[in-house]
Structure formats: C-alpha cells, structure tokens
Structure 1
Amino acid sequence: MKRKLLTGLVCGAVTIGLLAGCGGAKPEATTAPAGTAAAKKDPVTIKFYAYGSESQQNWSKIIEGFQGKYPNVKVDLVNLSEKGDTQEYFKKLDLSAASGEDMDVMMFSEAGAYAQRVALGMVAPLDDFIAKEGFKEPEEYKVDTQLNGKYYALPGKFNPWYVMLNKDHLKEAGLEVPKEWTWDQFQDYAKKLTKGEGAAKRYGTYFHGPQGGGWLEFARLQMANQADGADYLKTDGTSNLSSPLFRKSIEMRYSMEKVDKSSTPYADMISQKLHYRPQFFNQSASMVVIGSWMNSELGGTEQYPLKFDVAVAPFPKNSASDQGGYSMVTTDFYAVSAKAKHPQEAYNFVRYLTTDGMLVQGKYVPSWSKVKNDQLTAIVDTILKGTKNPEKVDKASLIAVLTNAKASKLVPPTSYQADVYKVINEEYEKLILDKQNLDTMVKNTQERAQKLIDGAKK
C-alpha cells in the first residue's frame, strides 16, 4: 500500500544523520506568529520541498496567499515529483539532504516516512514555536503528529476512513443510510445486501486486504475505532496483538466470508487481482470500507463512471456505547528542516499551509479543527465538482462523516513493523484459506511477532 513504511533510505541513516546538526531550530523573537501581519524585516527566501503537479496541489495559490500575508518572505517551491510519485520524491529528497542543499520546509506523505526522517535528525522540533504562538496542538488539529513527546510536523489534509454505500442497493433492501452504527450492524447490512449466486453474485461488502504485506488495516478493523491502542504495536514498540479487538477483527472477517458468505472471497481477490474501485463502481459489492481519498472519485470518473446513487457512512463502532468517529486517518506532514536557514519563517509557512492555506488550496479537507461547517461544505462542493456526476452523491452524509471524524493516536513506526505486517498477513492467509483455525492463527501471530520484537532488541 502507498502509505506503508519505506523499507530503506537511499543514502542511509548514517549519511543523512550527519547533516542534522545539534539541538534543532529555535524561534526568532522578532518575527510575528502565523496568522498575523509580518513585522518589517529584510526579505528572505525559504525553500519548500514538495511533490505533485499544480493541478493536483494548487501550490501557486498557497504560496501567493502566504506571501500576501508575509510580503518579506519569498517561497521557492522545489517540486521533486510533478507526477506525485512519493517514491521518486523521497529518493530525491534524501539525495538533496545528503548533498547539503538548502532546505527549510519538507513534506511527508505518511507516518512512516515522517518518523524515519525524524529519527535521522532531518527534522526540527516545533514545540518552541508552538509555545511561542500559544496554541494547544491536540486541540488545533484532528491528527496528532506527536512523536516521542515532541511535535516535528503539522498535519495538512484529513483523510479518515469511512464506508462507501450503494444507495440503490440500500433502498432495494429496505435499509437506511447509517448515521451511527456498530460492526455487528455492518455485518447485518452485508448479509441483507448480498444477492444472487455464482459468477453474477453481488456481495454485501468487499475487503481489499490484507495482501502482500500491505493493506493491513483490513485485519484490525475493530481495533481502529478507539483513541488509543488502535494498531498492532503500542507506542513503545511492544506488541498489541493480545488485544481482544485483534481477535474480534479476524473473527468478523472469517465469519462474513465463510459463514454469512456476504464478503467477496479472499481467494478471488488474490487470484483475480480484484480492486476496490471496480468492485464498488461496477456494483459487484454494495459497501466498501476505504479511506476518504475517495472523495474526489465518489461522483464517478472517466475510468469508473457512476450509474447509481452513493452515500457515505461513518466507520463502525465496536459497541453502541463507544465514542464514534475514530478510524484510520491519512494526512500529509509538513515539517521544518533541522538545517533551515530561516526556521521562524519556515514555521510560519507550515502554519499557514496547514490552516488558511488548505482553504486557499481548495483540494482537500483540512486537519485544522477550526474549519467551520460552511467552509467544509464549500470544500466538499469544490471536490465533488471535479467528478462526473456530483449530483448522485449524498453530500449531507459525506459532510456529517467528515465533520465528526477523529484520528487515533499515532504509533511511531519501528524497524520491524514491516516484518510484523508480513507475519499477520501470512497467518491470516492460512486461516482464510482453511489451513489453520482461529485459535492457531492468533497464537502463531502473537508468537512470531514477539520473536521479531525480541530480536530487534538484541
């Protein structure tokens, strides 16, 4: 999956680590905080390393808006991948860092890449800047970017997971669009939405993983709807596989496929190389749990036209009494380089980019908590207008889900995370292909993962 931890760095930890220097950037007392008019200063230029085309990201609008607020600061965009290829971007970013090029602001596409560069000393802590400005980060943004007790980045877009629904199928089955529901209810919906037999069978839902050591979110669905303890590893790097919710997640997946027969078989997904987009838009599955990066495709695209009405439901809860809204969330991480020549100006740009700049950009839902409902509606309208049939999307359901969504606590990636993912995938596959039972699967997964963790500590 595109958001999984990178397995290696081009230049290596030692080479890049030497570039970082000591301490980290400190705020300059003479510069106004973000969101206020800049004090009169000599002009400076900051280097912003990013990726994505102008049509994808609207970088010029963001930079123009920032420079209007801070006329003494020029932002020099260094676009390392116009096509938005994150692997190309990180390769070039690491080479730029290793060669000592000027860097002020950097963009990271997922938590693993962010945490790796923090560990290598490439990124400056932002705590002093935040304290000077006087806001509380956990209240300011919906995504907590804290690592080891410090903030090294601020979050940009906000992509929580949700459930895409075929409203035509719901109506046919006499079902309402859920405004709040549990995994038990999700399972019941899937059974009622399943129809037909053989090659023409329509399944209630389709799960796109785990597969190939990726898309591991689909093996921890019931773990994800909580503020803490939502991942396979704990924040201290120890195993969280003893959580009852891990077993329940696997048990639900097995039951839906093998007992209810309401989810697309895992063997079909692998052998036929199925994908969630055609499964949903071709109406082979009525519900798909996926990330809200699909906002820009909900109304249909050239490749996947929309021929039915679509709605969105929140990520299901484990029980009715649980607090709703928590799910897996993806974001962009914007950070100040540890080698920044103008750290305060770089921080000001990061703050603008992750607040008003996201509104100016008009491409994504921001992580900024101060976005009002009317602003969110305008953002969603802009996103949906880019699709073929925005009128077929239940916009009210989408806005309700995005308004109430929250991110679980970020778990810093470890050197053995990818290996743990592979173990979970392998043991799940043995279970779902009937080569072992649930008890054996959970036991083997816990023991193999623990060996990896113990080995990494030697």
Structure 2
Amino acid sequence: MKKTITSIICGAVTISLLAGCGTDKPNTTATSTAAASAKPVTIKFHAYGSEAQQNWSKIIDGFQTKNPNIKVDLINLSEKGDTQEYAKKLDLSAASGEDMDVMMFSEAGMYAQRVALGMVAPLDEYISKEGYKESEEYKVDTQLNGKYYALPGKFNPWYVMLNTDHLKEAGLEVPKDWTWTEFQDYAKKLTKGDGPTKRYGTYFHGPQGGGWLEFMRLALANQPDNSDYLKADGTSNLDSPLFRKSVEMRYQMEKVDKSSTPYTDMISQKLNYRPQFFNQSASMIVIGSWMNSEIGGTEQFPLNFKAAVAPFPKNNASDPSGYSMVTTDFYAVSAKAKHPQEAYQFIRYLTTDGILVQGKYVPSWSKVKNDQLGQIVDTILKGTKNPEKVDRDSLITVLTNARASKLVPPATYQADVYKALNEEYEKLILDKQNLDAMIKNSQDRTQKIIDAAKK
C-alpha cells in the first residue's frame, strides 16, 4: 500500500543567517488575543532539555505575565535533552491518551512523521486570523501538504568548535574560510599522544542508532541544493560523488590518519560530543550552533581553555561559503489539545518575543533586526560560565555568513533509509566490508526502501 505522506512539501530555508534581536515594537499578538480569554486554563507543554539548556522558566514566566489567564504546565520528557528519548516518550504519552496541548520536535523528519500520524493540528486558521504569512514571518517554512502544522523556534547552522589553546600549540590559526581537506590536515596536526590519554584532532558524534546521520553526509551538506540522502522528489541521492567523499573522508581520518575518535569507542563507551570537547579529548567538533548557549562553559561542562568557531568547511576553495545543515525546533499544537487557541498563543509567543526572553538561541523570527546579532550573541554568552574565553568575533562572523542548504522534504521512509545507511557504515568502519561494497549496498538498500514505499 502506498504510504500517505509521499506528497509532503517542506518549504526551503532560503534566507541567510543575518539575524539580530532589535525589533521596532514588541510582538503583542499573543497578549491581545489572550486578553479575550476570561476563564483561566492550563495548557500542557511537552518538551525536552534542562532548565540550564533551555531557560523554560523565563519563557513561561514571560508568557504568563502577558497572559495571566493561561497557565503553562511544562512536561519535560528528557531533562538531558536527548531527542530520541523524548520522541519515544512523546509517542507513548500520545498513545496512552495523556493530555497534551503543545509539543516540540527537534527536526523536520520527527515533525513530518507526527503530522502523518495525525498527532498535530494545522495552524492555518490561526495564522490567517492573525493576518501574517508564515513564509515572511519566519526564516523556516514549515509547510507540509499545503498546510502549516508548526512554527519554528531557533535557527541553528552547523559550524566547527575549536580549542584555540590547541591551535596555538600546533601553530594553527582560527580558519575563516576552509575546505574539508584543510579540516583533515588540521585534525592530523592537532592529534597528540597515544593510548587511553590520546587527544584526537576531532570527534564525530554519529551515525549511531539510526540517528545523527548528518555525520555521514558532511561533504554533501555544504551544497546549496541536493544536500541530503534523498532528493526533493523522494528519489535517492546516493549516486552523488559527495556521498562517497563524505564516507571516504570519515574512513580516512579514523583508519589511516588516526585523527578522529574511533567509532568503536563512541559506541562502546557511549561517548558524547560535549565531554569530548570540554574535557579536551578532541580539539575540534563539527556540531550545530545550538552550542552557542554552552560554548562558554556550563556547570556540568566548564570551559577551561580558550575556544573559537570556524565556518562549516567547503569541498573546494572556489565553492560559495557558509552553506551547512540548519536545525530548528518545530513548535506544534496537539490535534487533541483541550485548549487549542491558548496553545497557539503560547507557541506564537515562544517563537517571537519568547525566544528573545529565553536568551539562548538566534531566532527564526524574521522580524529580528540584522544589526543586532551581536546583542543576541552577547546575551547568549552571558548565560555561560566563562564568556570571556570565547572568541566572540569568530562566532559572530560565522553566524552572520551562515546560509542554509535547501531543506529537502522528509519522506515517510526516511527513518528506514537512515537505519540502512547506519548499518552499512558500521560494516565499513568495523572492517566487515570495503568502501565500494558499502556504497553499493547503501544504494541498493535505499532503492529497495523507496520502491517498497511506492507499492
């Protein structure tokens, strides 16, 4: 049977990250609509991430101050911010009939899958009533099947975090524009020592368990178009030479250069990118700029060295700079919400004034002024333990010049593709097959999944 959401259309992220936090006037939409709510209600907000990571109390307090008749009850399904744990618990909560009004999704695939399952209510009526266009109001177009089911929160391009003490020791500068070949060279020069105390040039946090598949398409991701495993029409993109380059680079760095943390260590020791970087076990990590709020160190992971940021590497020196994967949070109203109007008011606040109050992320909200990016960065860094140890100028430069690759519509069979690719990569990196076999098997398995979805 043909699956029901093969016609998903996700709008492209077309605007470069040139965001700031100055606004002509506060967003008063949620306040004015909430004023009409005479009867006090409580909405259930299912989310993930600790208070230190997300500042949930600041957002909720700010909203409740403007909307005294609406109480927000935070249901935190993963204090540590594990999105896979969150997704499993969210689905269990929905299946058990638990009350939920607002939910969040960490990426487009998670969002599209829950829309397909009927868990999420369309927002078009609210948006139309309020009188704005989502594609103009926000930098991420969240449209699926011609309807809007979520509003986007943060706007996080990927970049490279660097230990500048290690760079100085190796006689290296903070890169302002570089290629993957140069990244590999840096990793080799930054690798030091042997055995259990060995310091690696870099650490890659995936793929693992069918997730973190970004780390298998690093060379693909720096393209303006066709930057994912599947194309916009749902066909395979694995014949791209950049897919092969991505995998070959990972193999070269781990097996030949020995400049990246072994995959077996990541899996067996359950390693995470935060301790690997902050404990100085790796000098560089490629990661999303959600780390802006942690780069200056936290209680759990203090910054005991100087750090900087470099742009996502390019394939060739002549390629346009700044393209990378971009992540956002999708905030949605449950299809079974008891208070859908109030739930919409909350996500509208959360994705506008609320994200500024949160002080953790650069917003997707397009009404934020470009020339105030420095203020946003300063606000974010002030929330860390040692902002003075962060190269502020490098961070602002990277964020200013970041550009989003065109967002590819998530397919219903995407999780199956991810699982297959992860399995084939493991066979390669564990020396159970060579690169040619890995590429061919990945292509064949992906095509079978695509063909099965069409039946």
TM-score (norm 1): 0.79
> Shift of residue 215 of structure 1?
2.2
- Between 1:367-376 and 1:33-42, the stretch displaced more is 33-42
Q: Secondary structure at the match of 2:222?
A: coil
- Between 1:297-306 and 1:146-155, the stretch displaced more is 297-306
- Between 1:431-440 and 1:131-140, the stretch displaced more is 131-140
Task: Count residues with an aligned counterpart.
Answer: 426
Equivalent residue letter for 1:43: A
CA distance in 2, matches of 1:240, 1:412: 13
Please point out which of 177, 191, 196 is paired with 1:194. Answer: 191
> Shift of residue 219 of structure 1?
0.7
- Between 1:191-200 and 1:32-41, the stretch displaced more is 32-41
Please point out which of 64, 70, 73 is paired with 1:75. Answer: 70
Aligned residue in 2 for 1:49: 45
Q: Secondary structure at the match of 2:275?
A: helix
Please point out which of 214, 239, 244 is paired with 2:241. Answer: 244
> Shift of residue 388 of structure 1?
3.1
Equivalent residue letter for 1:210: P
1:439-458 superposed matches below 5 A:
439-458=436-455
CA distance in 2, matches of 1:325, 1:201: 32
- Say whether residues 1:309 and 2:300 are aligned partners: no
CA distance in 1, matches of 2:62, 2:86: 25
Aligned residue in 2 for 1:433: 430
Please point out which of 419, 424, 427 is paired with 2:421. Answer: 424
> Structure 1, unaligned stretches of length 5 or more?
1-12, 14-31
Q: Secondary structure at the match of 1:224?
A: helix
- Between 1:390-399 and 1:187-196, the stretch displaced more is 187-196
> Shift of residue 265 of structure 1?
3.2
Equivalent residue letter for 1:421: Y
Taking CA–CA contacts closer than 8 Å with sequence separation of 6 or more, which of the two structures ends up with the larger relative contact order? 2
> Shift of residue 220 of structure 1?
0.6
Q: 1:163 to 1:91 in 2, by over 3 A?
A: closer
Q: 1:262 to 1:134 in 2, by over 3 A?
A: same
Contact 2:78–2:86 (CA under 8 A) maintained in structure 1: no
Contact 2:35–2:67 (CA under 8 A) maintained in structure 1: no
Aligned residue in 2 for 1:24: none
Aligned residue in 2 for 1:29: none
- Say whether residues 1:206 and 2:230 are aligned partners: no
- Say whether residues 1:285 and 2:282 are aligned partners: yes
Q: Deviations over 1:221-259 (max 9, x none)?
A: 111123432222234433221222211111221222334
CA distance in 1, matches of 2:62, 2:313: 38
Q: 1:40 to 1:355 in 2, by over 3 A?
A: closer
- Say whether residues 1:330 and 2:327 are aligned partners: yes
Q: 1:325 to 1:422 in 2, by over 3 A?
A: same
CA distance in 1, matches of 2:193, 2:58: 50
**Identical aligned pairs, as a percentage?**
79
Q: 1:358 to 1:439 in 2, by over 3 A?
A: same
CA distance in 2, matches of 1:151, 1:48: 21
Equivalent residue letter for 1:81: N
1:142-181 superposed matches below 5 A:
142-181=139-178
Aligned residue in 2 for 1:262: 259
Q: Secondary structure at the match of 1:170?
A: helix
Q: Secondary structure at the match of 2:220?
A: coil
> Shift of residue 199 of structure 1?
5.1
Q: Secondary structure at the match of 1:357?
A: helix
Contact 1:46–1:104 (CA under 8 A) maintained in structure 2: no
> Shift of residue 42 of structure 1?
5.4
Aligned residue in 2 for 1:23: none
> Structure 2, unaligned stretches of length 5 or more?
5-26
Equivalent residue letter for 2:273: Y
> Shift of residue 345 of structure 1?
5.2
CA distance in 2, matches of 1:42, 1:211: 46
Q: Deviations over 1:392-420 (max 9, x none)?
A: 11122222223333444444544533332
Aligned residue in 1 for 2:395: 398
Contact 2:64–2:71 (CA under 8 A) maintained in structure 1: no
Contact 2:109–2:414 (CA under 8 A) maintained in structure 1: no
CA distance in 2, matches of 1:35, 1:414: 33
Contact 2:324–2:405 (CA under 8 A) maintained in structure 1: yes
CA distance in 2, matches of 1:436, 1:112: 29
Pairwise CA RMSD of aligned residues? Answer: 3.4
CA distance in 1, matches of 2:52, 2:269: 34
CA distance in 1, matches of 2:409, 2:445: 21
